[in-house]
Amino acid sequence: MTGQICDLPALELVRRLKRGEFSAGEALDSTLARIELVEGRSGSVQNTSADPLDAARVHAYITVTRERARQQARAVDRALASGEDPGPLAGVPLAVKDIFCVAGTPSTAGSRILANFVSPYTATPVARLEAAGALTIGKANLDEFTYGSSNESSAFNPTTRNPWAADRVPGGSSGGSAAAVAAGEATLSLGTDTSGSIRQPAAFCGVVGLKPTYGRVSRYGLIAFASSLDSPGPLARNTTDAALMLGAIAGPDWRDSTAANAPLTDYVAELEAGVQGLRVGLSPDFLRLRTPDAETGELREQGLQPEIEQAVRRVAETLAGLGAEIVEDVPMPSVRFAIPAYFVISRVEAASNLHRYDGVKYGHRAAGPAADLSQLYRRSRGEGFGTQPKLRILMGMYVSGAQYEKRYYEQALRVRTAIRRDFERAFDQEGPARLDALLAPTTPTTAFELGKVYGDSVLMQYADLLTVPANHAGIPALSVPAGLDTSRLPIGVQWMGPDFSEATLLRIGRAYERATADQPWRQIRPAILRELMSA
């Protein structure tokens, strides 16, 4: 810790702010100063040539909303001065993944087709965070329309870099969010997770990422990818902050008919309950993987990066030492088909959702006269969409064609049910495993090099191999940092639990954090911070 406000976790920041140790304006200034130090050029569709400085900066944002945050900070300080409660997130700098509409801000989805779109309304989770006193400091970069696991598909350059190693990807699609939280450019970030897009970048950037249960958090104002899978959720410095943020955004919303009426929990109050008596499972199906060979594309059995498997074992031992019961060899036979099923379901839904972009109502419109409306659509979409949306639309068209629907789409939906059944069996309190949570690695590898995977859309999709099963099942999953590999890159592990069991997952995560608080790896800071702050 540097003692700077921008490096404080959210809960501590709020407590100290309320004690009068600093103002919301000072919290904002601290974060803006950090952005000045580490951000470099923020993402833009106008940036087409490389700048030598880009390689040593983070580039987490597309838009920094200084004035919005400044006004919010003044409101918090006014509330404090007049003795009013400024809210549970008072003065906390927040990065919003640029897949959420925020009134009056460019809301781009990282795509050229929405580069000029200024949202007229605000997404429900963002509105709730702002009502809780958070300061919206900017819109974070992401893979185009969230389609990717590295941030490299964004139309807004320079690409976000991993604060732990500038030649590595931050993960994706919430890569800007994870990088911002890791580098002190935001204290919290709101991301989305459709196949791992919160957890995978959280793991790569050494922060906490929580994918809530499907329906726990409203999707109103979220630019849709795969509507049956999309889950907004927190990226944070620790599990306490994730709990604090989830409490602010969870709950029903009349604007989203899939926002569940499930009872709300005080996630922070339950954090310190420990793991005594909890049953935590390990499954060989999350440790032995079938992934494509990088050269031939052939699927073959491969282990995890050994340091990641070792980290999972160490976490299990730590939990056992705290009184949890570790259940080995929990069978999850259907998760091996999670990626092929995801390829189908997500593409069908993406193709449907992307039909609204047509160059007529908003967004990019091809210049010059068009012979007819069809040509206007084709040209506007051809110019506006990048490679990844185009691939998803085309594949969605193919697999939902009348002649293939049964073979692919219906089969994929059945596989989704089979994956759900695997989890139901594991969590069944009358069944053999009776788990409270399943422990698994978050990713097969630590952060990979920029340019190494991008372009191979199959290999990139397999980066989500360990995260996408929770999306198919709809269940919550929490990723936390669990050490560094020999290259000093963060390792993430995740717990998955039954529907609406976020409080239990956060409890487990918090117990693990407390038990490992003194470990040397927790004192190491991201390389970009070490370099720029010592310069």
Partner 1 sequence: MAEAPKPKPIDEQVFQHLVQLAALELQADEAEYLRHELNAQLDAIRELEAVRIALDLPITSHGVPYGPAIRPSPRGDQIRPSELADAILAQAPEVMDRYLVVPDLPRIDLE
Which one of 37-45, 409-417, 429-437, 442-450 is the stretch in contact with partner 1 (CB under 8 A)?
A: 409-417
376 contributes a contact to partner 1 by CB under 8 A: yes
**Residues in Cβ contact with 430 at an 8 Å cutoff, skipping those fewer than 6 apart:** none
- Return the axis-axis angle of helices 66-81 and 24-38, rounded to nearest 10°: 160
- Binding track over 192-231 against partner 1, x by CB under 8 A: ---------------------xxx------------xx--
Site size toward partner 1 (CB under 8 A) is: 84
Check if the beta carbon of residue 433 is closer than 8 Å to that of residue 496. no
Q: How far is the CB of 189 from partner 1 (least distance, A)?
A: 24
258 contributes a contact to partner 1 by CB under 8 A: yes
| CB neighbours of residue 523 within 10 Å | 8
Q: Is 97 a catalytic residue?
A: yes
Strands 299-303 and 288-292: antiparallel
Q: How far is the CB of 218 from partner 1 (least distance, A)?
A: 10
379 contributes a contact to partner 1 by CB under 8 A: yes
Which one of 9-17, 29-37, 279-287, 363-371 is the stretch in contact with partner 1 (CB under 8 A)?
A: 363-371
Q: How far is the CB of 152 from partner 1 (least distance, A)?
A: 15
| CB neighbours of residue 355 within 10 Å | 12
Q: Which of 198, 341, 439, 478 binds partner 1 (CB under 8 A)?
A: 341
- Residue 6 has what DSSP assignment? G
Catalytic residue among 154, 177, 189, 197: 197
Q: Is 197 a catalytic residue?
A: yes
Q: How far is the CB of 420 from partner 1 (least distance, A)?
A: 5
Question: Quick one: 258 or 276, whose CB is closer to partner 1?
Answer: 258
E runs forming strands in 257-323? 279-282, 288-292, 299-303
Q: How far apart are CA 206 and CA 481, in angstroms?
A: 5
254 contributes a contact to partner 1 by CB under 8 A: yes
Phi, psi of 136 (to 5 degrees): -75, 105
Question: Quick one: 33 or 370, whose CB is closer to partner 1?
Answer: 370
Catalytic residue among 42, 97, 479, 501: 97
Q: How far apart are CA 357 and CA 206, in angstroms?
A: 35
The tokens 């309190």 sit on which residue? 429
Which one of 200-208, 266-274, 368-376, 510-518 is the stretch in contact with partner 1 (CB under 8 A)?
A: 368-376
19 contributes a contact to partner 1 by CB under 8 A: no
Which one of 82-90, 142-150, 356-364, 503-511 is the stretch in contact with partner 1 (CB under 8 A)?
A: 356-364
3-state secondary structure of 242: helix
346: left (phi over 0), alpha (psi -120 to 50) or beta: alpha
305 contributes a contact to partner 1 by CB under 8 A: no
Q: How far is the CB of 41 from partner 1 (least distance, A)?
A: 26
Total count of residues recorded for the chain: 535
Window 107 to 136, contacts with partner 1 (CB under 8 A): 117-118, 120-121
Which one of 31-39, 76-84, 170-178, 450-458 is the stretch in contact with partner 1 (CB under 8 A)?
A: 450-458
Window 383 to 402, contacts with partner 1 (CB under 8 A): 383, 385, 387, 390-391, 393-395, 397-399
Q: How far is the CB of 484 from partner 1 (least distance, A)?
A: 32
- Binding track over 274-293 against partner 1, x by CB under 8 A: ------------------x-
Q: % helix / strand / coil in the chain, to the nearest 5?
A: 40, 15, 45
Q: Which amino acid is at 221?
A: G
Check if the beta carbon of residue 362 is closer than 8 Å to that of residue 313. no
Q: Is 346 a catalytic residue?
A: no
Structure tokens at 201: 């970048």
Q: Which amino acid is at 465?
A: L
Catalytic residue among 30, 111, 119, 173: 173
- Binding track over 456-485 against partner 1, x by CB under 8 A: xxx--x---------xxxxx----------
Reduce the secondary structure of 174-227 to three states and give it as a string: CHHHHHHHHHCCCCEEEEEECCCCCHHHHHHHCCEEEECCCCCECCCCECCCCC
Phi, psi of 64 (to 5 degrees): -100, 120
Window 321 to 340, contacts with partner 1 (CB under 8 A): 337, 339-340
Strands 231-236 and 325-327: unpaired
**Residues in Cβ contact with 49 at an 8 Å cutoff, skipping those fewer than 6 apart:** none
Q: How far is the CB of 86 from partner 1 (least distance, A)?
A: 27
Q: How far is the CB of 472 from partner 1 (least distance, A)?
A: 6
Q: What residues are annotated to the active site?
A: 97, 173, 197
